[in-house]
């Protein structure tokens, strides 16, 4: 319930801000990829300004996520290694426990 309220308190204002942002920046602009002849329409894209801003935002988020993913790779590898080692130690402990129970079962009762 609290998560829904927090999401509502965060996502609703964010959605309103994005809608206002899109309406305020709906004029068409041209992005020219030819720096020597910007009037060349072959290497130019025309779209509303907010589209370019959203593309830049999404691209930045993806690059940041990729950088974070790659920089934390050593931690994920260590976690996998330690999980495998924990499973190995647990199976060895179970094996020793079973062996101890077998030995205890073979001892004469007092």
DSSP for 1-58, written as a single string: -HHHHHHHHHHHHHHHHHHHHHHHT-SEEEEE--SS-TT-STTEEEEEHHHHHHHHHH
Domain ranges of the chain: 1-33+40-106
Rg (CA), the chain: 30
Residue 39's pLDDT is: 82
Query: Band of the pLDDT at 108, cuts 50, 70, 90?
Result: confident
Summarize pLDDT for 4-60 with one digit per residue, the tens: 888 888 888 888 888 898 888 889 998 888 888 878 888 899 999 989 988 998 999
Residue 65's pLDDT is: 95
pLDDT above 70 (res 107): yes
Query: Band of the pLDDT at 87, cuts 50, 70, 90?
Result: very high
């Amino acid at each position: 319930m609290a998560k829904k309220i927090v999401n509502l308190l965060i996502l609703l204002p964010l959605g309103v801000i994005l809608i206002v942002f899109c309406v305020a920046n709906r004029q068409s602009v041209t992005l020219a990829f030819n720096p020597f002849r910007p009037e060349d329409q072959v290497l130019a894209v025309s779209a509303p300004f907010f589209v370019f801003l959203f593309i830049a935002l999404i691209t930045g988020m993806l690059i940041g996520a990729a950088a974070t993913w790659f920089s934390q790779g050593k931690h994920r590898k260590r976690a996998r290694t330690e999980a495998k080692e924990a499973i190995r130690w647990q199976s060895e402990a179970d094996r020793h426990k079973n062996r101890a129970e077998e030995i205890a079962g073979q001892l004469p009762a007092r």
